[in-house]
């Protein structure tokens, strides 16, 4: 997460504390997409910040809405020569991420002993640490402390497990028997803050060329859009919710639904901790509607696709993956399954994703080859161009201008 230090007067800070104390006993109904923690925090800040913080009467309110609004106010103040609203932004990595990088810097021998100890927490530590020199023992004990902190964070804070407390004391006592040593802080790559990210909602204008159809124009809106090929703080993951695209032919005034994504998620698990019993599986899911053109007549495919697989990271440049997929469709080939593989590569300006696979009809055993490539160029924080080519039982090319807001 990111910690924002706001430039508030001493009086406003004091009054905010008093007001929050008054709210401690008040109960609220929680709605994930609207009346959530971000929305409540926006309403709170709205009392003490002169500009409107919560001025967005919209059925969906996500955390990015709040941060984007704070940055807009901060930018406007700076442009007008007024004191800034945001003093500082600090990245705070999770206990899980800290543990991952703490383990990563262990030597193979140290990591083997660390894993043995975490598998047998009731045994004495000294016997397992004996093969290591002093520096190696300190490294393993530091990693064990990070592991205990990680497990502590996952417990109920009001009633932490007593065994965790006792095991932490055992690690500290073992460490106190070793000489002092300056510990180099673990190096954790920072994720970009919401300051550098586009807003979560978008409009798009585009052009589509598809087999068995004349070309047509599209326009659409997305409530929440973070894509693998886009600029986002989700690393290489996808999260798209409530995305509707409308199409229209040049020689007709009729409009039609081109695509609709109720939900599309790709959770690429680029790091996991086996010692914490974390699984390595990545997953994907999409629920939505696709329009298939046949001599300008429409057939709609209502679908639910999903998959599970493995992902490897190529430093900070990209990922490559393999998935086993399955899907339910209302058009022919109702039950589908098959493997796919691909990669995402690029930087903040230009990213590309390629995906190839086989899709088997589970009713008759026939299959088709699938191919999908998508590329996005980030013109600025709020403007982007995206080109996509898809080949399944049709070929479709689309070009879109995206405006994030």
pLDDT score of 134? 86
Work out the pLDDT band at 157, boundaries 50, 70, 90: low
Whether the pLDDT of residue 284 is over 90: the answer is yes
Look at residue 398 in the predicted model and tell me its pLDDT: 96
Quick check: 41 and 19 in contact, CB under 8 A? no
Determine the pLDDT at residue 155.
66
Which of 5-9, 97-101, 111-115, 392-396 has the highest average model confidence (pLDDT)?
5-9
Q: What is the pLDDT at residue 12?
A: 93
pLDDT in tens, 75-93: 999 999 999 999 999 999 8
Predicted confidence at residue 296, as pLDDT, reads 62
**197-404 CATH fold:** Porin (2.40.160)
- From 56-65, 155-164, 202-211, 296-305, the region with the lowest mean pLDDT: 155-164
Model confidence over 178-213: pLDDT tens digits? 888 777 888 888 888 888 888 888 999 999 998 888
Where in the chain are the domains? 2-91, 95-176, 197-404
pLDDT, tens only, 319-342 = 999 999 999 999 888 999 999 999
User: Nearest 5°: phi and psi at 195?
Assistant: -60, -35
| pLDDT at residue 195, as a whole number | 83
Calculate mean pLDDT across residues 15-31: 90
* pLDDT computed for residue 245 by the predictor: 96
């Amino acid at each position: 997460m990111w910690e924002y230090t706001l430039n508030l007067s001493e009086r406003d800070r004091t009054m905010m504390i008093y007001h929050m104390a008054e709210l401690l006993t008040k109960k609220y109904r929680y709605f994930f997409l609207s009346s959530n923690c971000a929305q409540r925090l926006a309403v709170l800040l709205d009392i003490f910040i002169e500009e409107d913080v919560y001025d967005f009467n919209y059925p969906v309110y996500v955390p990015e809405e709040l941060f984007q609004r704070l940055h807009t106010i901060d930018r406007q103040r700076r442009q007008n020569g007024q004191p800034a609203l945001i003093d500082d932004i600090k990245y705070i990595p999770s206990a899980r991420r800290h543990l991952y990088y703490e383990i990563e810097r262990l030597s193979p021998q140290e990591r083997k002993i660390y894993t043995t100890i975490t598998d047998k927490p009731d045994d004495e530590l000294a016997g397992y640490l004996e093969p290591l020199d002093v520096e190696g023992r300190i490294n393993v004990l530091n990693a064990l402390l990070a592991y205990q902190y990680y497990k502590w964070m996952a417990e109920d804070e009001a009633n932490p497990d007593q065994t965790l407390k006792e095991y932490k004391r055992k690690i500290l006592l073992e460490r106190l028997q070793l000489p002092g040593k300056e510990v180099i802080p673990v190096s954790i790559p920072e994720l970009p803050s919401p300051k550098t990210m586009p807003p979560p909602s978008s409009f798009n204008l585009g052009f589509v060329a598809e087999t068995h159809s004349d070309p047509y124009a599209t326009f659409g809106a997305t409530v929440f859009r973070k894509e693998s090929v886009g600029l986002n703080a989700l690393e290489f993951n996808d999260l798209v919710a409530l995305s509707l695209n409308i199409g229209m032919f040049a020689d007709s005034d009729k409009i039609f639904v081109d695509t609709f994504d109720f939900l599309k998620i790709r959770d690429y698990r680029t790091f996991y901790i086996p010692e914490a019993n974390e699984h390595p599986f990545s997953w994907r899911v999409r629920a939505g509607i696709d329009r298939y053109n046949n001599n300008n007549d429409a057939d709609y495919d209502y679908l639910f696709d999903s998959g599970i697989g493995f992902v490897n990271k190529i430093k900070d440049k990209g990922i490559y993956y393999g998935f086993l997929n399955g899907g339910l469709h209302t058009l022919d080939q109702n039950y589908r399954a098959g493997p796919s593989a691909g990669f995402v590569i690029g930087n903040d300006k230009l990213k590309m994703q390629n995906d190839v696979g086989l899709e088997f009809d589970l009713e008759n055993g026939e299959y088709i080859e699938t191919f999908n490539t998508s590329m996005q160029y980030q013109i600025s924080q709020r403007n982007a161009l995206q080109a996509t080519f898809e080949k399944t039982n049709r070929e479709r090319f689309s070009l879109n201008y995206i405006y994030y807001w």
